[in-house]
Homo-oligomer: A and B are copies of this chain.
Amino acid sequence: MSNKTSSADRIREKKKIFLAREQKIIDAALELFLKESIDRVTVSKIAAVAGIGKGTVYKHFLTKNEILARIMLDYERNITNVLAEGIVKAEGGDSGAAAKGYFQARLERPELDRLVQQLEVRLADASDIAEQLEELHATRRSNEESLSTLMTGLIGEGVLEDVPPHFHYLACWALAQGAVELCFNRSWNYRTDTKELMEFITNIGVTMGNRGQYHANARQSKSAKTPKPKK
């Protein structure tokens, strides 16, 4: 009996090690992607950084693209979770919670968010991983219904402008997308007040599309830099 147990234990142990190594590959890939230009990252380098042989990588991933797809999916799942939480909060009354959480999640590690943006562009036409890409899109679409419901509600309450509900969350997506890009664009990122800038943009994201009220920015901005005399 103890034999049986230890055998099962061993198998579990092996799986753990296996998964750990898989994570090591992902981490190595991430490290490289964040350090240098995407197309200069080779499987060889990833293996080297992960401290394993090139062939081992292919025990975990069928192709190089699968590694990239994995990074994308992992990230997107996290964003999706954050968004889901935000939606719950928003339904509980905090109308800006969804957008706010979304922005904060995407801007928490903007370098990672940007990497994923770029990976998505590059992998758009990769025929291997078509499945993973479909999952990515499905993941996103799965949020749409909740978001639509939420937006429709807020429109009904007069909080948001009366346009098709998806206009609101897509505008949010776009602003977040651009904000991340802004953090790293060589033309602009010589500035040192990125943090404040991102807060400013987040605020815009939270309030854009709002109607019939003073601009939320003016009332809620957490940024101490800009005193708001009227309030």
Contacts and interface: CB of A to CB of B under 8 A. Distances in A.
Interface of A: 36-37, 39-40, 117-118, 120-122, 124-125, 133, 136-137, 140-141, 161-164, 166-167, 170-171, 173-179, 181-182, 185-188, 191, 193, 196-197, 200-201, 204, 207-215, 217-218, 221, 223, 225-228, 230
Contacts of A164: 193, 196-197, 225
A211 B200 contact: no
A34 to B, nearest CB: 13
Contacts of A193: 164
Contacts of A215: 161, 207, 210-213, 215
A218 B211 CA distance: 5
27 contacts: A37-B122, A137-B186, A161-B226, A162-B227, A163-B221, A163-B226, A164-B193, A164-B196, A164-B197, A164-B225, A166-B197, A167-B200, A171-B175, A173-B182, A174-B201, A175-B175, A176-B178, A177-B177, A177-B182, A200-B209, A204-B204, A204-B208, A204-B209, A208-B217, A209-B217, A210-B217, A213-B214
A178 B187 contact: no
Copies in the complex: 4
A220 to B, nearest CB: 10
Nearest to A225: B163
Contact of A181 (B141, B167, B174): B174
A179 B187 contact: no
Q: Nearest 3 pairs between A and B by C-beta?
A: A174-B178, A178-B178, A177-B178
A88 to B, nearest CB: 22
A230 B212 contact: yes
Given A164-B193, A213-B214, A226-B161, A171 B204 contact: yes
B208 A208 contact: yes
B118 A121 contact: yes
Contacts of A187: 136-137, 140-141
